């Protein structure tokens, strides 16, 4: 029987920096800026940080570099790499470390500058740095896009999902982005524009794919029972779950069913909640097929019904299930790995600090991160109340 961490930790301050194009600044600099903002917003000083969790697509030494750069001597550090889901999976790691008495204040931070880095092809360098994928490499796929395109094509074949339904995810994200002054792309977007955009990997056009931008994010977590002494509105972590079943898409048992089935079940069980209790969702939208798969696998609708479920404006501003309320990886920002921004946006919504895009009922939020090629899935349920 595993020990529950329900409500054990709370998110205090959050910070972002270098969103979009951070020309002239390194990734280390923008991560440090986001971290200083998060620590200050937590009512702490950088020297109070005794735990750090971070990882990078470009350097295995990242946690040591960042701790050195921030001038801290952590008692607890972790840099486990789960790809894009890492910073939601990190909530469980932080809860375990804090509950075990290893540290009191954990800084989780990430950033990258693939857009403005001197080498404009940093994203391709990231691709090249990925571990070898022996069953796929000989066919020279354009990964990760091609892997997600395979999942989308299979979902369309098996369940009748349409390209218009995929496009609805991108259009909804853009409607949210139009309400977010920090979003990278804010011009209006139509279904036809998504369908008519440059094809990248059939059936995904460039508008079905997340952005390649700069950006950094950070948040601080602490023991829930001390959180109110530090921050007037701590956001409690009610449940977390993490699962991975495969690394490369050719080893995924069924490309329409993701390990979110397991991560979601674990997170909901720990929180003692069901999808009906969730007011808003922040789901890692690396590609438009992702949220459709995740809504199904997390239990918001039946397998195969995700395309219809997101229709009728349900996930848009004013809809029943607000989704990716900052504009998501499709329109807000996406510096290589994205899940840190899912947590930051959920916290803003739960604190009613989301400005024009604030959703009316924001008591319980679900955040869901995705890493690799639907490989690593991490779910967390957050609330302003225990």
Ligand X SMILES: CC(=O)SCCNC(=O)CCNC(=O)[C@H](O)C(C)(C)COP(=O)(O)OP(=O)(O)OC[C@H]1O[C@@H](n2cnc3c(N)ncnc32)[C@H](O)[C@@H]1OP(=O)(O)O
Stretch that binds ligand X, among 99-107, 120-128, 159-167, 218-226 (CB under 6 A): 120-128
Among 47, 121, 125, 158, binds ligand X (CB under 6 A): 121
299: left (phi over 0), alpha (psi -120 to 50) or beta: left
Minimum CB separation from ligand X for residue 42, in Å? 27
Q: How many residues does the chain have?
A: 386
Rule CB under 6 A: is residue 370 a binding residue for ligand X?
Answer: yes
Find the binding residues for ligand X in span 237-296 (CB under 6 A): 286
Q: Residue 199 is inside which H or E element, if any?
A: strand 199-201
Task: State which residue, 51 or 336, has the beta carbon closest to ligand X.
Answer: 336
What is the closest distance, in whole angstroms, from the C-beta atom of residue 370 to ligand X in the complex? 5
CB-nearer residue toward ligand X: 261 or 289: 289
Pick one of 18, 20, 74, 144: the residue that binds ligand X (CB under 6 A). Answer: 144
Reading the block at residue 203, the tokens are 């059936």
Q: Which residue is nearest to ligand X (CB)?
A: 84
**Among 156, 4, 331, residue whose Cα is nearest residue 345:** 331
Q: How many CB atoms lie within 10 A of CB 110?
A: 30
Is 139 exposed, middle or buried, given 0-12, 13-18 or 19+ CB atoms closer than 10 A?
Answer: exposed
Does position 74 interact with ligand X (CB under 6 A)? The reply is: no
For residue 185, what are its two tokens?
């792309």
124 vs 158, which CB is nearer to ligand X?
Answer: 124
* DSSP class per residue in 349-367: HHTT--GGG--S--SEEEE
- Count CB atoms within 10 A of the CB of residue 138: 8
CB of 317 to ligand X, least distance (A): 24
CA angle 134, 140, 145 (to 5 degrees): 100
Q: Is 83 among the residues that bind ligand X (CB under 6 A)?
A: yes
Q: How many residues bind ligand X (CB under 6 A)?
A: 18
Cα–Cα distance list, 221 to 193, 265, 321 (Å): 41, 23, 27
Separation CA 175–CA 172 (nearest Å)? 5
Q: Could you tell me the CA-to-CA distances from 174 to 161, 210, 294 in Å, in that order? A: 21, 12, 19
- Candidate ranges 74-82, 209-217, 234-242, 342-350; the one touching ligand X (CB under 6 A): 209-217
Residue of 51, 217, 327, 371 that binds ligand X (CB under 6 A): 371
Which helix (H) or strand (E) segment is 201 a member of? strand 199-201
Quick check: 47 binds ligand X (CB under 6 A)?
Answer: no
Least CB distance to ligand X at residue 24 (A):
20
Tell whether residue 210 is a contact of ligand X (CB under 6 A): yes
Judged by CB under 6 A, the stretch of 17-25, 137-145, 166-174, 352-360 that binds ligand X is 137-145
H or E element at residue 157: helix 145-159
Binding mask 325-354 for ligand X (x = CB under 6 A): -------------x----------------
- For residue 338, give the nearest of 49, 57, 23 by alpha carbon: 57
- Which residue in this structure is represented by tokens 């801290």? 72
In the region spanning residues 149 to 208, those forming contacts with ligand X, defined by CB under 6 A, are 200-201, 206
Shortest distance (Å) from residue 9 CB to ligand X: 25
How near is the Cβ of 328 to ligand X at its closest, in Å? 11
- Which parts of this chain interact with ligand X (CB under 6 A)? 83-84, 121, 123-124, 142, 144-145, 200-201, 206, 209-210, 212, 286, 338, 370-371
């Amino acid at each position: 029987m595993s020990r529950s961490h329900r409500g054990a930790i709370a998110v205090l301050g959050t910070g972002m920096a270098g969103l979009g194009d951070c020309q002239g600044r390194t990734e280390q600099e923008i991560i440090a800026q986001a971290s200083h903002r998060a620590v200050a917003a937590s009512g702490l000083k950088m020297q109070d940080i005794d735990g750090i969790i971070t990882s990078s697509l470009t350097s295995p030494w990242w946690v040591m570099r960042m701790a050195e750069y921030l001038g801290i001597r952590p008692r607890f550090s972790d840099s486990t790499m789960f790809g894009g889901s890492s910073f939601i999976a990190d909530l469980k790691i932080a809860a375990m470390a804090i509950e075990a008495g290893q540290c009191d204040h954990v800084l989780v931070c990430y950033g990258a500058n693939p857009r403005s880095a001197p080498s404009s092809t940093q994203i391709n360098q990231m691709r090249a740095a990925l571990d070898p994928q022996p069953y796929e490499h000989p066919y020279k796929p354009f990964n990760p896009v091609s892997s997600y395109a395979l999942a989308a094509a299979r979902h369309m074949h098996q369940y009748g999902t349409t390209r218009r339904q995929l496009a609805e995810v991108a259009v909804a994200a853009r409607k949210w982005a139009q309400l977010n002054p920090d979003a990278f792309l804010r011009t209006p977007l139509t279904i036809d524009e998504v369908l008519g955009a440059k094809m990248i990997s059939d059936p995904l056009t460039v508008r079905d794919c997340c952005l390649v931008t700069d950006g950094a994010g950070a948040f601080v977590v602490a023991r829930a029972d001390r959180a109110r002494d530090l921050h007037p509105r701590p956001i409690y972590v009610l449940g977390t779950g993490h699962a991975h079943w495969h690394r490369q898409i050719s080893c995924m048992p069924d490309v329409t069913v993701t390990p979110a089935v397991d991560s979601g079940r674990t997170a909901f069980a720990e929180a003692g909640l069901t999808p009906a209790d969730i007011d808003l969702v922040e789901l890692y939208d690396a590609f438009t097929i992702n949220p459709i798969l995740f809504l199904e696998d997390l239990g918001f609708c039946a397998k195969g019904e995700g395309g219809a479920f997101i229709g009728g404006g349900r996930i848009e501003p004013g809809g029943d299930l607000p989704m990716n309320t900052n504009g998501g990886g499709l329109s807000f920002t996406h510096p290589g790995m994205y899940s840190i921004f899912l947590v930051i946006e959920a916290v803003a919504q739960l604190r009613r600090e989301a400005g024009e895009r604030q959703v009316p009922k924001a008591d319980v939020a679900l955040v869901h991160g995705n890493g690799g090629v639907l490989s690593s899935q991490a779910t967390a349920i957050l609330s302003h109340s225990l």
